[in-house]
Amino acid sequence: MKDSSNLPKNMTVIPTGAALGAEITGLDLSRPLPAEKIAAVREAVLEHGVVFFRNQSLDDAAQVAFTRYFGPASVHIRDNQPDRPTDEIMVVSNVREHGKPIGSLGHGEIRFHSDLSYMSHPGTFSVLYAVEIPEAGGTTSWCNNNAAYDGLDDTMKARLAGLRALHLHFRPEQNPDPAVDHPIVCTHPETNLKTLFVSPYFAKSVVGMSEDEGRALLETLFAHQTQDEYIWAHEWRVGDLVIWDNRATMHRREPFQDSQRRILKRTQIFSESRPVG
């Protein structure tokens, strides 16, 4: 019998009703996707910022294959990842085996950020697949930075034009030398929409401003970006796969009890060019 999965008629995009996010149903990501489906998923990610698929059953090879539909799946730059069978997979986990962590990022809160914005060529698409999920906590929230920019008044938009922010990782060894700055307002290379490209986790100062003035401006932007009207929260289930666009969004993770296991697998695509205003 001919396999009927992944046919065009089976795919449905269901917006969350929040500022961003959509669920895609009708696709089995363990199987190859035809070109028209890949294009439709990409279009959905660009339109909604983040999309998720429920009830997937993926091995590492299938996750890497899915990621490669959107660009080269890169080995993550973190130097503290334990040895793992698939180089392109970064394990996000608090689990320890034989006294050693099997992954990175533990169980604490991770503040709003766009992946790898402290690099000269930051992350574009990120993919995260849920293997084990705690009973409570660990929720991931995304912010629509396009909508946040649109929500600024004209005076603030004019003030931000041409300004750049310095992005730094809290672990100094993760930062390139010299450190990287990016436009505070960037133009998305695929949608041409203006977006705020700063986040509480990585944006530290404004180039050419005093420390106090720059910090005050950034805190004003952070407070604006993280209003409920720009945010959608995803409650994880085992088998969820989420893909998002770091050029238009930022995200955070809520903490959870370290006594509860959480294992997710992440793949990453880097930008081929630097962000532009």
Q: For residue 154, is it within any domain?
A: no
Q: Judge whether 34 and 6 are in contact, CB under 8 Å.
A: yes
CATH code at position 61: 3.60.130.10
**Phi/psi at 129 (nearest 5 deg)?**
-120, 130
Domain of 77? 12-109+123-135+233-245+256-270
Q: Would you call 211 helix, strand, or coil by DSSP?
A: helix
Q: For residue 142, is it within any domain?
A: no
Tokens of 154: 């004209």
Q: For residue 169, is it within any domain?
A: no
pTM over 0.85: yes
Taken in order 242, 244, 249, 253, the sign of the CA dihedral is: positive
Q: For residue 83, is it within any domain?
A: yes
Q: For residue 127, is it within any domain?
A: yes
Report the C-alpha gap between 234 and 39 in whole angstroms.
24
Q: For residue 186, is it within any domain?
A: no
Q: For residue 149, is it within any domain?
A: no
**Total of domains in the chain:** 1
Q: Judge whether 116 and 90 are in contact, CB under 8 Å.
A: no
Q: For residue 32, is it within any domain?
A: yes
Report the C-alpha gap between 271 and 185 in whole angstroms.
17
For the chain, which ranges sit under pLDDT 70? 1-9, 76-84
